[in-house]
Amino acid sequence: MIDYAYPCMMAEKALKDLHNAAIEGRLDDAAEHALVAIAEARLVYQALQHMSSTSGPGASAVRHVGDFSQERSSSSQSRPTLAHA
């Protein structure tokens, strides 16, 4: 079984560490934690895609990055998505 929970928790930890490092002015450390968070988030995404593809017909719980990009482009938000990271 592919586990999405562990990399999800590691991404959360990396984001917390990023925040703490940024507050303390350690921007190089914060940037490093950002890269870890991105890597872990990609593992989560891959695990969810795998779970979706192996859960049988009609599995549509996981959407592709392109689906999120289209939603964002139609909204007024300008935050980047994983497709642009």
pLDDT tens digits, one per residue of 7-57: 999 999 999 999 999 999 999 999 999 999 999 999 999 999 999 888 765
What's the confidence (pLDDT) of residue 55? 79
Q: Which domain holds residue 69?
A: 5-84
Crossing angle of helices 27-54 and 5-23, rounded to 10°: 160
* 22 neighbors 30 (Cβ within 8 angstroms): yes
Q: Is the pLDDT of residue 65 over 80?
A: no
- Calculate mean pLDDT across residues 58-72: 49
Q: How far apart are alpha carbons 1 and 22 in whole angstroms?
A: 36
Q: How far apart are alpha carbons 24 and 10 in whole angstroms?
A: 21
As for how many domains the chain has, the answer is 1
Q: How far apart are alpha carbons 77 and 69 in whole angstroms?
A: 11
